[in-house]
Amino acid sequence: MSPARIRIAPSLLAADFARLGEEARAVAAAGADWLHLDIMDGHFVPNISYGPVVVAALRQHCAIPFDVHLMIAPADPYLEGFAKAGADLISVHPEAGPHLHRTLQTIRGLGKRAGVVLNPATSVAAVENVLDLCDLILVMSVNPGFGGQSFLDSQLPKIAALRRMIDQSGREIALQVDGGVTAATAPRCIAAGADVLVAGTAVFGAPDYAAAIAALRGEGGGR
């Protein structure tokens, strides 16, 4: 088990899209560690969100790390655009391109931290041979594309297996969970070994962002 402090990355997908800058500032002020930005192309996933222009505009509003989750295929032609827009971490799905190793090399070559995202049906084997290029592994606990879905308990053993793999590697790799994370499901993710929790609805759907973030971390009177 990692003794690391649990970091919370609110997903802006559940924010008020007419007030994105204000929403980004509000979660940063409420104690968010990273801002999770879901990029969807209507092709790799059946939904469209926003692109690098919006990420760049948000950069003016908040200083916490931008955690960019690319749900686009191909991803390679857009990596530089997201790096220039202000991403700090860029995560890709192995299914989004033919050469995951090269994609991770490109992200790191742009001076950014690189992540690999595992869909619910994707095995840990998809990442085990590129651990040396990983700064983050993201376990999807829903099928990507939409916020507000129910957490898939079937992904907990995968989180535990990745925790073992990361600890054995001796590398500092964040283990992130995304989808259906709430104050009720967060403790299961943390117990399995996750150290970064993405939450959209559980933060932006709450009346008090700071209380919601503290509850996800297991602090401050949350469930």
Q: Which residues bind ligand DX5 (CB under 6 A)?
A: 11, 13-14, 36, 38, 69, 142, 144-149, 178-181, 198-202
> What type of residue is 106?
T
Catalytic residue selected from 33, 41, 178, 195:
178
Q: What's the min distance (Å) between Cβ of 150 and ligand DX5?
A: 8
CB-CB contact of 213 with 205 (8 Å) = no
Known catalytic residue: 41? no
Question: Which residue's CB comes closest to ligand DX5?
Answer: 200
Q: Considering CB distances under 5 to 8 angstroms, the limit depending on partner class, which of ligand DX5, Zn ion, none binds residue 115?
A: none
| 167 vs 205 by CB, closer to Zn ion | 205
Minimum CB–partner distance for residue 50 and ligand DX5 (Å): 12
Where helices occur in the chain by DSSP H, the ranges are 20-29, 52-59, 79-85, 100-109, 125-128, 156-169, 186-192, 201-204, 209-217
Tell the smallest beta-carbon distance from residue 45 to ligand DX5 (Å).
6
Task: Give the separation between CA 45 and CA 48, rounded to whole angstroms.
Answer: 8
CA–CA distance, 162 with 160 (Å, rounded to integer): 5
Q: How far is the CB of 84 from ligand DX5 (least distance, A)?
A: 22
Set 33, 38, 67, 76: catalytic member: 38
76 is a catalytic site residue: no
β-pair partners for 140: 178
Q: Is 91 helix (H, G, I), strand (E, B) or coil?
A: strand
Q: Choose among Zn ion, ligand DX5, none what residue 200 binds, the Cβ cut-off being 5 to 8 Å by kind.
A: ligand DX5
CA 203 to each of CA 148, 197, 216: distance values in angstroms, whole numbers, following the listed order: 11, 11, 9
State the CB neighbour count (10 A cutoff) for residue 39: 25
Closer of 18 and 168 to ligand DX5 (Cβ): 18
- In the complex with ligand DX5, which residue's Cβ is closer, 115 or 147? 147
What positions carry a catalytic annotation? 38, 178
